[in-house]
Amino acid sequence: MLGAASKGVELTLHDGLPGHIRGDGGRLAQMMDNLIANAIKYSDSAKDKRWVAVSARATLPDDGGEPQMIVEVRDNGLGIPEAQRSRLFERFFRAHEETLAEIEGTGLGLSIVKHVAQNHGGDVRVWSQPGKGSTFTIRLPEASPATAASLGAAQ
């Protein structure tokens, strides 16, 4: 998937979501493709074992609000310097300027991720440490049981 094997990156996908998300399936897939492709693209070729893991879980927010789906894309790649994290979701911004000649891209992927998450009532957050890797966390509202039932009936 997305060139992981050709880059020597072990990709682990945890099957299925533990619930339903209401939204544009194509745009949600694009959001996930962008996150996973970035994790693979910025994997640290100096490491013996490179990996990307994708997982999802349903949860209730600490404030007792609506149920959420939490999707995480974790990697042990290059990591992102703190000074660059505030700009990660800007259009055309690319972290790791020193390696841009080696890594293809337009700098639009993460801005699309943020836009899609927000348009579906959610958000995206990042944790990262240079040399250790990154975790991108997407929080999206979980579809209500009635909505989920109607989605299942429509398939």
Which sequence spans correspond to the domains of the chain? Answer: 23-154
Q: What is the pLDDT of residue 64?
A: 73
Low-confidence residues in the chain, pLDDT < 70: 1-2, 15-18, 44, 92-107, 144-155
Number of residues in the chain: 155
Q: What is the pTM of this model?
A: 0.79
Token code pair at residue 51: 């990996």
CA–CA dist 135, 153 (Å, integer):
34
Q: What CATH number labels 23-154?
A: 3.30.565.10
Q: What is the pLDDT of residue 106?
A: 55
Q: What is the pLDDT of residue 153?
A: 44
Cβ-based neighbours of 62, under 8 Å, separated by 6 or more: none
**Pick from 72, 90, 47, 48: nearest CA to 128:** 72
Burial category of 115 from C-beta neighbours within 10 Å (exposed 0-12, middle 13-18, buried 19 and up): middle
